[in-house]
């Protein structure tokens, strides 16, 4: 799987989807393609259980972030070589998250080969576009293929800790409006880049202390991209900043954009002509799963059966689980690998942890109904 460069953007998951489809169908597991866009489809594989009115989803995304030319120079191996050196397998997607996805696939194949009938349906959902707008998981909202599933295991990298909560995220553009003018004349026009600086200054002063969570700390935000400029001799009349906010439980995406609008108002007190507007890209709420839910009780029992140390944790990123839980499902995040090594050079996963994840998934799948 690591050797398939399913990078996104631009959305090159097709070969990955074809591979998984072939693997699951050849294993004798009922598998469907759910098209999201031309040449981009999710995989949904269902292993029937005793109770066909219940199901557990194991989900992973097929896309990986690109490797830039500069980053490639910092790799010690081929980013898509899947080289094993010592304890680790190296490659883009090894941790995020082809390792976890592979473990779920092999666990389902093992059940099929050994004619083990789980207590309820086991459903693999392999998605496209998680690394961008999550179009894949959004396409599964309300799907008849998943309507009976009440539990989700997201196979993202957690160092095999069990994440029972997750930060949310919201991001979008702030477009600051100015006026053009000739660059040789000081004071002419209204420089949108300079006006944008006032927004960043106000953002730096906001610490979100009123939204501090006792376990997970505070929300935070930051500008991650700036686009501006008309011509080297023209005062820019527009500056677009991409703002990314990571929010703890009980802090909503709406709260973030209300705070941005308050910043606009504050700036206008000193600069009445200041103009800016918001272009929202996406909103992903934070969440927590109760320890009394079936999926957490099953997961704890799986750790106990394998005599592994169980530890609750919190996921700082966002996953497809955020989308899938909107259809009233309980979610945990559990997988091999670490967020510390993803989205940069020399991404790796410990081979021993792949075996542990496989065993944990197999246990969760085969435990009797709680």
Last residue of a domain, one of 284, 315, 347: 284
User: Do 301 and 274 lie in a common domain?
Assistant: no
Query: Domain for residue 2, yes or no?
Result: no
Structural domain for 145, as ranges? 14-166+286-366
Q: Are strands 120-127 and 51-61 parallel, antiparallel or unpaired?
A: parallel
Q: What is the pTM of this model?
A: 0.94
Cα first-last separation, the chain: 34
Q: Which residue has the tokens 């779920």?
A: 104
Query: Domain for residue 327, yes or no?
Result: yes
Q: Is the peptide bond before 97 cis (omega within 30 degrees of 0)?
A: yes
User: Do 23 and 141 lie in a common domain?
Assistant: yes
Residues 6+ apart with CB under 8 A from 315: 156, 158, 163, 165, 166, 167, 333
Query: Domain for residue 8, yes or no?
Result: no
Last residue of a domain, one of 284, 303, 328: 284
User: Do 172 and 57 lie in a common domain?
Assistant: no
**Bridge partner list, 123:** 46, 57
Question: Exposure of 327 by Cβ count < 10 A (0-12 exposed, 13-18 middle, 19+ buried)?
Answer: middle
Q: What is the pLDDT along the chain (370 residues), one digit of tens a residue?
A: 999 999 999 999 999 999 999 999 999 999 999 999 999 999 999 999 999 999 999 999 999 999 999 999 999 999 999 999 999 999 999 999 999 999 999 999 999 999 999 999 999 999 999 999 999 999 999 999 999 999 999 999 999 999 999 999 999 999 999 999 999 989 889 999 999 999 999 999 998 998 989 889 999 999 999 999 989 999 999 999 999 999 999 999 999 999 999 999 999 999 999 999 999 999 999 999 999 999 999 999 999 999 999 999 999 999 999 999 999 999 999 999 999 999 999 999 999 999 999 999 999 999 987 6
Query: Domain for residue 334, yes or no?
Result: yes
User: Do 54 and 124 lie in a common domain?
Assistant: yes
pLDDT of the residue at 313 = 96
Query: Domain for residue 272, yes or no?
Result: yes
Question: Exposure of 231 by Cβ count < 10 A (0-12 exposed, 13-18 middle, 19+ buried)?
Answer: exposed
The domain total for the chain is 2
User: Do 174 and 142 lie in a common domain?
Assistant: no
Q: What's the DSSP call for residue 346? A: T
Tell me the C-alpha distance between 255 and 359, whole Å: 41
User: Do 113 and 204 lie in a common domain?
Assistant: no
Contact 271, 340 (CB under 8 A): no
Query: Domain for residue 326, yes or no?
Result: yes
User: Do 65 and 139 lie in a common domain?
Assistant: yes
Query: Domain for residue 348, yes or no?
Result: yes
Q: Are strands 162-166 and 287-288 parallel, antiparallel or unpaired?
A: antiparallel
Could you tell me the CATH number of the domain that includes residue 299? 3.40.630.10
Query: Domain for residue 7, yes or no?
Result: no
Contact 284, 170 (CB under 8 A): yes
pLDDT of the residue at 370 = 61
User: Do 223 and 354 lie in a common domain?
Assistant: no
Q: Is the peptide bond before 225 cis (omega within 30 degrees of 0)?
A: no
User: Do 112 and 135 lie in a common domain?
Assistant: yes
Which helix H or strand E contains 350, and what residues bound it?
strand 348-350
Could you tell me the CATH number of the domain that includes residue 278? 3.30.70.360
User: Do 162 and 206 lie in a common domain?
Assistant: no
User: Do 306 and 159 lie in a common domain?
Assistant: yes
User: Do 297 and 321 lie in a common domain?
Assistant: yes
Which pairs from 183-187 meet CB under 8 Å and 24+ separation? 183/232, 183/233, 183/234, 183/235, 184/233
Last residue of a domain, one of 250, 284, 318: 284
Which helix H or strand E contains 46, and what residues bound it?
strand 40-47
**Bridge partner list, 90:** 83, 348
């Amino acid at each position: 799987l690591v050797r398939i460069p399913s990078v996104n953007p631009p959305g090159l998951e097709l070969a990955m989807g074809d591979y998984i489809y072939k693997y699951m169908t050849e294993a004798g597991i009922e598998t469907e393609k759910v098209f999201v866009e031309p040449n981009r489809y999710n995989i949904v594989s269902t292993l029937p259980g005793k109770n066909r009115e219940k199901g557990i989803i194991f989900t992973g995304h097929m896309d990986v972030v690109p490797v830039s030319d500069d980053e490639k120079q910092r790799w010690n191996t081929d980013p898509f070589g899947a080289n094993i050196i010592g304890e680790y397998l190296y490659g883009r997607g090894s941790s995020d998250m082809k390792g976890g996805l592979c473990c779920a696939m092999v666990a389902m194949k093992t059940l099929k080969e050994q004619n083990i009938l789980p207590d309820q349906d086991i459903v693999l959902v392999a998605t496209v576009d998680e690394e961008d707008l999550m179009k894949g998981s959004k396409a599964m909202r309300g799907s008849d293929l998943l309507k009976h599933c009440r539990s989700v295991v997201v196979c993202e990298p957690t160092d095999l800790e069990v994440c029972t909560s997750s930060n949310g995220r919201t991001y979008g553009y702030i477009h600051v409006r100015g006026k053009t003018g000739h660059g040789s004349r000081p004071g002419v026009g209204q420089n949108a880049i300079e006006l944008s600086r006032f927004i960043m200054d106000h953002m730096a002063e906001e610490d979100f202390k009123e939204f501090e969570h006792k376990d997970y700390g505070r929300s935070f935000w930051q500008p991650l991209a700036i686009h501006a400029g008309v011509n080297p001799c023209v005062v820019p009349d527009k500056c677009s900043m991409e703002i990314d906010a990571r929010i703890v439980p009980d802090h909503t995406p709406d709260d973030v954009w209300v705070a941005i609008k308050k910043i606009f108002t504050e700036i206008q007190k000193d600069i009445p002509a200041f103009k800016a507007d918001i272009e929202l890209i996406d909103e992903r709420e934070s969440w927590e799963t109760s320890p009394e839910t079936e999926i957490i009780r099953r997961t704890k029992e799986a750790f106990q059966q394998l005599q592994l140390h169980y530890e609750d944790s919190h996921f700082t990123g966002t996953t497809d689980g955020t989308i899938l839980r909107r259809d009233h499902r309980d979610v945990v995040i559990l997988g091999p690998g670490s967020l510390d090594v993803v989205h940069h050079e020399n991404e790796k996963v410990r081979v021993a942890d792949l075996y542990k994840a496989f065993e944990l998934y197999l246990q969760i799948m085969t435990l009797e109904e709680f």
